[in-house]
Amino acid sequence: MTEERKYRKPSLMEAVIVLLFSAAFIGAGVLYWEVSVHIPIVVAATFASLMGRFVVGRPWRDIEEGMVNGIMVGMQAMLILYIIGMLVGTWIPGGVVPSMIYYGLSILNPSAFLLTALIMCSIVSFATGTSWGTSGTVGIALMGIGAGLGIPAPITAGFIISGAYVGDKMSPLSDTTNLAPAVAGTDLFQHIRAMMWTTLPTYAIVCVVAVFLGMKYAGGSLDAAKIRAIQAILGGEFNISVTGLIPPILVIAMCVLKIPAIPGLFAGVVAGGVLAILNGYGIGDVLNVTLDGYTAQLSAKLAEASDMAAVAKILQEAGISGVAPEMAKEVGTLLSDLLTRGGMSSMYSTIALITCALSFGGIMERCGFLEVILDHVLKVVRSVGGLVASVITASFISNLFLGDQYLSIAMPGRIFKNAFDWKGLHPRMLSRSLEDSGTLTSVLIPWNTCGAYNSGVLGVKTVEYAPYAILNWLNPIMAIIITYLGIGVAWRGKDGEPVIAKNRPAELMEG
């Protein structure tokens, strides 16, 4: 008998104690004490490791190995985070983000903006297979356009995320879209076809909401003076040109050509740096913004001006005319907050949070706390709807306690696979359910890798944008409802192909 087999699983009570303590302490830290979630997660991880060591009996080296393995799962994500920080750092002085905001304000209006943002992010994310890349590039520009159109930042962020994640979820280029069928035991295109049953009706509802919510902010007419002021101040600080659209087109093209994410995004960093140098920045300046990010210049001066006379003088020195000082100060504050960002250093806190969360997840997985609870849930599930609801709930709980969407697909997939096989369901039902929750709900949790990332790049707290990331929380609900209604239920046919029926056909009952 190997040493591994000597370790016992925790009891249900032990697992529940760990989960309840962790949820209570993390919740109290965020909601009651209003502290950063980093240390509450460390405390929860400490409690879980103590329970694993002294109650369950796992040796420390095993728990430590679980922590390290948990962190290793997120290493690629952390590298991408650093590169996204560098990319934003060069794209602002290179005129990329300012140009996208400038031209976007010229062609968009509030009534169509939310729907346009949703569809644009869906297309870009589907074409590239990355929600992170979409949020960190097109998403940042859309945040600026939304601010210029007077739409609250949490609403804009919510529809950006909805679009980015539906495109990622349905893209054959996406890593999660390939991971889910691999775990469940089906092929990629069966998986994508299965997701259409739950995703398309949800997407249609979100589009309708985007139209009606956009009408609320139309206000009958645009604030033309504010838009002119934004464009004038952007033009006074940056080189606004269609050449600024080259780096995002390059990144999208490389992703479509299936260039891996890290070199594809890094090419965008280089392209942004080249544009910054052509715009008059020195090589040393570009290297500095790659590390520390860009600090707004003209807009910051306007925001910090002591009175309107000082604002008027700054505008005159910048060669900007036709903008009222009061409007210039308001817009300067908006643009200063929006454009002072980027650089590797901007990602330090997010990466620290991801490290804490994945360490916690590694402990929870190695000591078996989540697995025990899910095993007990599986014993009482009888209906197909209950089985799908259990997978969706398990993936959400995994996102809460494991801190990463990949683990929230892989772990429930491993646990529920035999149950789907025994029930006679086609494995695409499992893969669909894993993505309906594991991929989509990850961005709704502040300490999950996806929630932390999107909050950081879009500059909006997770709890603020979550209500407006409608697709991400509505899709799991829709998946449960349509399964209980018997819509789109796929049984495994005798030839291995899916058979769509509300109940298992009689000819498939044998075996």
Domain assignment present for 238: yes
Domain assignment present for 370: no
SS (H, E, C) 238-297: CCCCHHHHHHHHHHHHHHHCCCCHHHHHHHHHHHHHHHHHHCCCCHHHHHHHHHHCECCC
**Residue 35 identity:** V
**Domain end residue (candidates: 340, 373, 408):** 340
State whether 253 and 330 are in the same domain.
no
In this prediction, residue 201 carries a pLDDT of 97
Domain assignment present for 110: yes
| Look-up of token digits 């645009």 | 222
State whether 388 and 321 are in the same domain.
no
Domain assignment present for 67: no
SS (H, E, C) 84-143: HHHHHHHHCCCCHHHHHHHHHHHHCCHHHHHHHHHHHHHHHHHHHCCHHHHHHHHHHHHH
State whether 162 and 270 are in the same domain.
yes
How far out from the chain centre does Cα 481 lie? 24
State whether 128 and 250 are in the same domain.
yes
State whether 413 and 469 are in the same domain.
yes
State whether 230 and 325 are in the same domain.
no
Give the residues of the chain that fall short of pLDDT 70.
Answer: 1-6, 127, 219-222, 509-511
State whether 145 and 274 are in the same domain.
yes
Domain containing 300 equals 295-340
* DSSP-assigned beta bridge partners for residue 494: none
State whether 303 and 423 are in the same domain.
no
Report the predicted TM-score, pTM, of the whole model to 2 decimal places.
Answer: 0.84
Domain assignment present for 302: yes
State whether 243 and 331 are in the same domain.
no
State whether 128 and 230 are in the same domain.
yes
In this prediction, residue 220 carries a pLDDT of 45
Query: Total domain count for the chain?
Result: 2
State whether 306 and 264 are in the same domain.
no
In this prediction, residue 293 carries a pLDDT of 94
| Run of H or E including 418 | helix 405-423
Domain assignment present for 255: yes
How far out from the chain centre does Cα 229 lie? 32
In this prediction, residue 224 carries a pLDDT of 79
In this prediction, residue 208 carries a pLDDT of 97
State whether 102 and 221 are in the same domain.
yes
